[in-house]
Structure 1
Amino acid sequence: MMALFSNTVTNCKRISKALSQMGWINTGLLILNRLLAKMSNQNICIYKYYLIAQPVNSKLLLPPNRGKNIKIRLINKQDPVIQIFPRPLSVIYNRFEQGALCLAAFKDEKFIGFIWLILNPYQEDEVRARFIPLPSSRAAWDFDVYIVPEYRLGFTFLRLWEEANQLLIKNGIQWSCSRISAFNLNSLKSHAGFGTITLGQAIFFRVYNWQITFSSLHPYIHFSSHFNSFPKFYLNTQKLNNPLSSREKGITLE
């Protein structure tokens, strides 16, 4: 009885925290998603994304003496480190086939995180969707920033973004677009300090092999019954003014 009471109190605290940070709609969707996924053995799921644009920053995000022992390198599909990535190998290979670039972080030769970038349209691997940043000459797509749990309170995230920004700048990119789960508070907070601008949002309902999409961007509503049917989202940064062009902004950790 005490264990049940303790679990009930814990769950109430979690829901209260989610409500204060995500609001009623997102919290309701999150709870509904967990219930449906559990009842259907993960065959019915709900995904809600914020579609954002982030200005590329040429300034270092860390002081010169911070994070120096974290090494970042660009890897390819032949690199043995992909064998320990926390993603299925089929997904990793598909990303490379699309032309995606992977920056991996290491500390004392130990893998501690990665970030993925693509200078082309990106075919999402969590839902059926294609994201197309525009104009292609100055906008790219970033996705799947992962940090090994014990390193999430350190400098790995900022070191990865420092290198990602430098790589994007070399390719003439001014804006990096991405999607962030409305249920991932840590990711939302992490990106908030980078001057992100929300371009739209989309909700995906996956019911076995079917998918229904509702979005604030064209095509607004889309129904898919097979893998080759998916909505295309054009994320146009043409009219966005880069807030870092006149005064560059860095982020530091004390």
Structure 2
Amino acid sequence: MFTRFLHTVSELGAGNAAWYAAARALQLFGLHMWRYHFVAQRVPSSAMRSAPGRLLMSPIASLADLPAEYPRPREVVAARFRQGGCSIAAWKGCELAAILWYQFGAYEEDEVRARYCLPSPHSCWDYDVFVQPHMRLGTAFCRIWDEAHRCMHARGIQWTCSRISAFNPGSLRAHHRIGAVHLGSATFIALGRWQLMFANRPPFVHLSASPRSRPQLVFDTRPLEHGESQCQPT
């Protein structure tokens, strides 16, 4: 067990490993905990995109277009469409290779109760990048991001924001390598219909008892757009 703990520390770092241990302990009492880091990454210009591959890109415009092998509940996807979510699918022939989602203005999280607001018209929110397990060593991940950046750049988007699980070392490392900027962090603890949030940005603490009550976290990328370096890299 001690060896496993040391491995967790080496993967996540001491701080995130402590939060992970706390999350595992809370499960013994029926509580669930999520801890997120919020980051922003610059959208590259069209000239920085890689050459096209063999995958075909297309948007998913409705539930009817969603392939059966996409492993997300249909009610979750329907909620994304209702709030204006955009999606890009990568296909290898008739087989789904990957799907990426993004949204402008604001996004209501579907894992916890929270609303993320983006006041700048030059930013968007990206989320739930799915790649088929047997294609994760191929080009699908890079190609779908190339297409997403092309669509974002065409809309004048300069920065795309997202949340990363503090317990996902692969994602943390990937965002660090691409120079993602840290915007904040938040911890959500849920028991039944109750949810408690602690964050290092307003509103800092929020208690919710129903889906109608959601904390609103604002991520303003305008300082980044103007070259101000008040945020720290991940």
Alignment TM-score > 0.5, same fold: yes
Q: Secondary structure at the match of 2:212?
A: coil
C-alpha displacement of 1:78: 4.1
Residues 242 and 156 of structure 1: CA distance in aligned 2, closer, same or farther (over 3 Å): farther
Equivalent of residue 146 in structure 2, options 140, 162, 169: 162
Distance 1:78 1:222, change over 3 A: closer
Show the counterpart of 2:90: 105
SS class of match (1:134): coil
User: Residue 173 of structure 2 aligns with which residue?
Assistant: 189
Change (3 A) 1:82 1:39: farther
- 2:1 maps to 1:46: no
Pick closer, same or farther for the CA change 1:197–1:85 going to 2, 3 Å.
same
Asked if the contact 1:174–1:242 (Cα under 8 Å) also holds between the matched residues in 2, the reply is no
Q: Please tell me the residue identity of whatever aligns with 1:51.
A: F
Query: Matched residues in 2 for 1:107 and 1:171: separation?
Result: 27
Residues of 2 paired with 1:241 and 1:185: CA distance?
28
Code of the residue aligned with 2:155 in structure 1: it is N
Normalised TM-score (structure 1): 0.83
Secondary structure of 1:83 counterpart? coil
Cα displacement (A) at 1:32: 3.1
The answer for unaligned runs of 5 or more in structure 1 is 1-7, 244-254
- The residue number in structure 2 matching 1:211 is 195
Q: Secondary structure at the match of 1:230?
A: coil
CA contact (8 A) 1:83 1:89 kept: no
Separation (CA, whole Å) in 2 of partners of 1:38 and 1:68: 47
- Alignment gaps of 5+ in structure 2: 228-234
- Look up the equivalent residue of 1:54 and give its one-letter code: Q
Letter in 1 for 2:157: I
For the aligned residues, what is the CA RMSD?
Answer: 1.9
Separation in structure 1 between the aligned mates of residue 23 and residue 102 of structure 2, nearest angstrom: 28
- The aligned counterpart of 1:91 is 76
- Code of the residue aligned with 2:55 in structure 1: it is I
Letter of the 2:116 partner, please give it.
F
- Residue equivalent to 1:122: 107
Q: Give the TM-score normalised by the residue count of structure 2.
A: 0.89
> Sequence identity, in percent?
33
Larger Rg: 1
